A and B are shown apart, each in its own frame.
Chain A
Amino acid sequence: MADEATGGGFSIYPMDQFIVKPLFGGDVVHWYTPTNVTLWMALGVAGIALLMVAGSSARAVIPSRGQSMAELTYGFIHKMVEDVAGRDGLKYFPYIMTLFLFILFGNMLGLVPTAFTTTSHIAVTAVMALAVFVTVTAIGFVKNGKDFLSLFWVESAPLVLRPVLAVIELISYFVRPVSHSVRLAGAITAGHAVMKVFAGFAAAAAIAPLAIGGMVAIYALELLVAFIQAYVFTILTCVYLRDALHPHH
């Protein structure tokens, strides 16, 4: 990859930013090795603590700016869960809030120059998506028993079509964790890689202004994407939760 990229005189290594490196030397990455993944996830946790705990520490009835941000974040997700999953979905609000904040801070901290973007890795997003998938399916069966299968049996369709629709629904149900995780990792990876490519082109004086302008524009877009992908992941989780709680179409 490196050899191909250096061919045109540019040194563009758009994928190097995603390499997992041990923090304290060494080359072998064991499952327990503190790596740049550890560092940036820890920074994310610290950021979340700063926003949600330090921000709300005053417990003021008339909130400060920090407390307002914490409350807005709380209200944003709380309302989303209530609107999409229904009132009985509020029981799972802390889990959804955890996912949202982790993804949001992973995406946002990833935009810091030279940062490592934890949410760009399919390993991370797939674990979260699978956790959502397994949890939601379990909730569906525990809450509704066999009734949960009516999610795949479309009552409003003609009887002849129902088996066909059941197969389609079943496939789409099992594709959910794939699309759920690839959407997030893909969007973040693509954005970061594009920024790196623009940055590489900035080495040539003739196109440097264009490249830097492009980088600024992509960076602004990526800020938007960072938020939107966190939002999308969260709202899809709520939608899946609603399906599990109320499987009837």
Chain B
Amino acid sequence: MESEETAGAVGRCVGPDGGAIGMPQLCFDWFPNQIFWLIVALGAIYLILTRVALPRIEAVIAERNGAITNDIAAAEELKLKAAEAERAYERALADARAEAQKIGAETRAEIDAEVATATEKAEAEIAARTAESQKRIGEIRDTAVQNVEAVAKDVAAEIVASLGSRADPAAVEKAVARHMTGDAP
């Protein structure tokens, strides 16, 4: 048990046994102390925040946002470049395909032309040979006709002679010639 004097010094808010009397929150004896230290604490926090913490965090966040913006811009640029490269590739591919088709078409045309000239030449040769052959066939036929005429005359003269009469060569010739031309009697 504390002395009466100490208990009195403890005051209206704390009992002699050290326990609270009523709500310590409503003990006005302690208000000045709490308010003083509150102001000190708030002042200290304010100074810490405004002098050091907030500018630093602000700067870091701004720096990060800048870095992110830059990276996004760089990525955008690279994306554009990639698209450009893809377009160039597509263009090159299309060009190559067109070139290939052109070369194919040219080659085909060349071959066609060659084939056409060769065919023409061959046809001309065939025509020439046909003409020659026909000429020769005509010749052969003419000689054959002549031979037939000669044989026919001879045969006719022989037949007339074997029939016992004398053949008149002129008449025989005339008769054979008449038969040869198809003027049958």
Known A-B contacts A45-B45, A59-B59, A101-B45; A31 and B9 likewise in contact (beta carbons under 8 Å): no
CB-CB contacts below 8 Å: B44-71 with A = 44-46, 48-50, 52-54, 56-61, 63-64, 67
Complex contact B46–A41 (CB within 8 A):
no
Q: Mark B3-38, 1 if CB is under 8 A from A, else 0.
A: 000100111011101111111111101111111111
Known A-B contacts A52-B48, A102-B45; A27 and B53 likewise in contact (beta carbons under 8 Å): no
Complex contact A74–B19 (CB within 8 A):
no
Complex contact B61–A74 (CB within 8 A):
yes
Cβ 8 A contact of A121, one of B13, B25, B44, B64: B25
B57 to chain A, nearest CB (A): 5
Cβ 8 A contact of B54, one of A30, A45, A94: A94
- In the complex, A24 has a CB within 8 A of chain B: no
Complex contact A123–B30 (CB within 8 A):
yes
CB-CB under 8 A from B57, the residues of chain A are 52, 56, 70-71, 74
| B54 to A, closest residue via Cβ | A94
Complex contact A95–B34 (CB within 8 A):
no
What is the total of A-B residue contacts with beta carbons within 8 Å? 153
- In the complex, B42 has a CB within 8 A of chain A: yes
Cβ 8 A contact of A1, one of B22, B26, B30, B67: B22
Complex contact A15–B45 (CB within 8 A):
no
| B36 to A, closest residue via Cβ | A31
CB-CB under 8 A from A49, the residues of chain B are 48, 53
Complex contact A18–B15 (CB within 8 A):
no
Q: Mark A1-26, 1 if CB is under 8 A from B, else 0.
A: 11000000000010110111000000
Cβ 8 A contact of B53, one of A38, A53, A124: A53
- Determine the distance from Cα of A199 to Cα of B63 in the docked complex, in whole angstroms: 50
- Determine the distance from Cα of A31 to Cα of B54 in the docked complex, in whole angstroms: 31
Complex contact B60–A71 (CB within 8 A):
yes
Complex contact B24–A20 (CB within 8 A):
yes
A158 to chain B, nearest CB (A): 43
Task: State the main secondary structure of chain B at its contact with A.
Answer: helix
The count of residues in chain B whose C-beta lies closer than 8 Å to any C-beta of chain A is 50
Complex contact B40–A53 (CB within 8 A):
no
Range of interface residues on chain A?
35 or more
Cβ 8 A contact of B24, one of A15, A44, A48, A118: A15
- In the complex, A98 has a CB within 8 A of chain B: yes
| A57 to B, closest residue via Cβ | B56
CB-CB under 8 A from B39, the residues of chain A are 127
B69 to chain A, nearest CB (A): 13
Complex contact B17–A2 (CB within 8 A):
yes
Complex contact A20–B34 (CB within 8 A):
yes
- Determine the distance from Cα of A136 to Cα of B144 in the docked complex, in whole angstroms: 143
Complex contact A53–B60 (CB within 8 A):
no
| A45 to B, closest residue via Cβ | B44
- Determine the distance from Cα of A93 to Cα of B29 in the docked complex, in whole angstroms: 34
Complex contact A123–B25 (CB within 8 A):
yes
Complex contact A16–B60 (CB within 8 A):
no
| A13 to B, closest residue via Cβ | B19
CB-CB under 8 A from A122, the residues of chain B are 25-26
Complex contact A1–B63 (CB within 8 A):
no
Complex contact A15–B38 (CB within 8 A):
no
CB-CB under 8 A from A28, the residues of chain B are 9
Chain B residues with CB under 8 Å of chain A are: 6, 9-11, 13-15, 17-27, 29-42, 44-46, 48-50, 52-54, 56-61, 63-64, 67
17 additional contacts (CB under 8 A) given A20-B33, A31-B33, A41-B40: A16-B24, A18-B20, A19-B13, A19-B14, A19-B20, A37-B37, A45-B44, A45-B48, A53-B53, A56-B56, A74-B61, A94-B50, A94-B54, A102-B42, A121-B34, A123-B31, A124-B34
List the 5 closest pairs (A to B, CB-CB), nearest first: A31-B32, A52-B53, A2-B19, A41-B41, A18-B24
